[in-house]
């Protein structure tokens, strides 16, 4: 794996004649000689569907062909970037991702918009994902996840207080719906995450 480098670049996928289906996508390049020469790993586009600070590329430390790419969803290649699992728009297994949660949560599956991917260099089974829903950890190479939703990291915009006994706090958050809860709740009570 010495000298292995992957690089992605955001493109507009205009391959579909149907304008409504044209979306942002990426192309992925691989170099096995420290970046001197590059090869595109696939035909067409890698369906990241988003750009900006997204589209991180990570490679399993024990398998040069296992490539993780973040976009609106995490997509994974096990053949060096030629094909990707998760292209269907649901999850890695073409179904809704299996996500367990520390606290009850009405969300189904994996939250969108993958900003960061970390693979444990000592244990490549362990993968941590940072997306707009928080932190998710996998112990089986991104097949199933545990949502670490005990982190008090809500990004609120506006709150409203009512006159119930005890009074309730209502608030809207960035990308994670609106919440209502009793003012007597404490973070450790575990009610903080129930919409």
Partner 1 sequence: MEESISPDLTEKGLLALAESPLDPQRLVAGGGQGEVFTTSDGGKTWKGAGAGLPGKTVRDIVLSVHRPDRVFVVLSGSNDSDSTSWIFRSDDFGNSWNSISANLPPESANALAEDSKTPGLLFVGTDLGVYVSTNNAGGWESLCQTLPTAPVVDLEVQDRDGALVAATHGLGIFLLDIEPIRKSVRK
**Residue 161: CB minimum distance to partner 1, A:** 5
**Residue 166 binds partner 1 (CB under 8 A):** yes
**Residue 117: CB minimum distance to partner 1, A:** 21
**Residue 166: CB minimum distance to partner 1, A:** 8
How far, in Å, CA of 141 to CA of 188, rounded? 30
From 1, 12, 102, 159, residue interacting with partner 1 (rule: CB under 8 A)? 159
From 167, 175, 189, 195, residue interacting with partner 1 (rule: CB under 8 A)? 167
From 12, 102, 153, 177, residue interacting with partner 1 (rule: CB under 8 A)? 153
From 33, 160, 180, 189, residue interacting with partner 1 (rule: CB under 8 A)? 160
**Can you spell out the DSSP letters for 20-89?**
GG-EEEEEEEEESSTTSS-EE-SSS-B-----TT---EEE-TT-TT-EEEESSSEEEESSTTSS-BTTTS
| 61 Cα distance to chain centroid | 20
How far, in Å, CA of 50 to CA of 6, rounded? 18
Q: How do strand 144-147 and strand 114-119 relate by DSSP bridges?
A: unpaired
Task: Please state whether 15 falls in left (phi above 0), alpha (psi between -120 and 50) or beta.
Answer: alpha
The answer to whether the CB of 76 falls within 8 A of the CB of 35 is no
Q: Which is nearer to partner 1, 95 or 167 (CB)?
A: 167
Q: Which is nearer to partner 1, 1 or 161 (CB)?
A: 161
Select the span of 32-40, 56-64, 123-131, 150-158 touching partner 1 (CB under 8 A): 150-158
Q: Which is nearer to partner 1, 102 or 159 (CB)?
A: 159
Select the span of 60-68, 72-80, 108-116, 152-160 touching partner 1 (CB under 8 A): 152-160
From 2, 21, 106, 158, residue interacting with partner 1 (rule: CB under 8 A)? 158
Q: Which is nearer to partner 1, 8 or 176 (CB)?
A: 176
Backbone angles phi, psi at 7, to 5 degrees: -140, 140
């Amino acid at each position: 794996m010495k000298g292995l480098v992957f690089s992605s670049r955001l493109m507009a996928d205009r391959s579909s004649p149907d304008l409504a289906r044209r979306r942002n996508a990426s192309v992925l390049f691989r170099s096995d000689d420290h970046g001197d020469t590059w090869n595109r790993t696939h035909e067409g586009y890698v369906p990241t569907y988003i750009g900006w600070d997204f589209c991180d590329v990570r490679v399993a430390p024990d398998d040069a062909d296992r490539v993780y790419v973040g976009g609106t969803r995490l997509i994974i290649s096990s053949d060096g970037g030629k094909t990707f699992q998760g292209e269907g728009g649901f999850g890695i297994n073409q179904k809704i991702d299996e996500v367990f949660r520390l606290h009850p949560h009405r969300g189904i599956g994996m939250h969108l918009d993958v900003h960061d991917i970390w693979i444990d260099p000592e244990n490549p089974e362990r993968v941590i994902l940072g997306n707009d829903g928080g932190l998710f950890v996998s112990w089986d190479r991104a097949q199933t996840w545990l949502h670490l939703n005990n982190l008090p990291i809500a990004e609120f915009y506006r709150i409203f207080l009512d006159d119930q006994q005890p009074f309730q706090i209502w608030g809207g958050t960035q990308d994670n719906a609106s919440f209502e809860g009793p003012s007597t709740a404490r973070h450790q009570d575990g009610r903080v995450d129930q919409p």
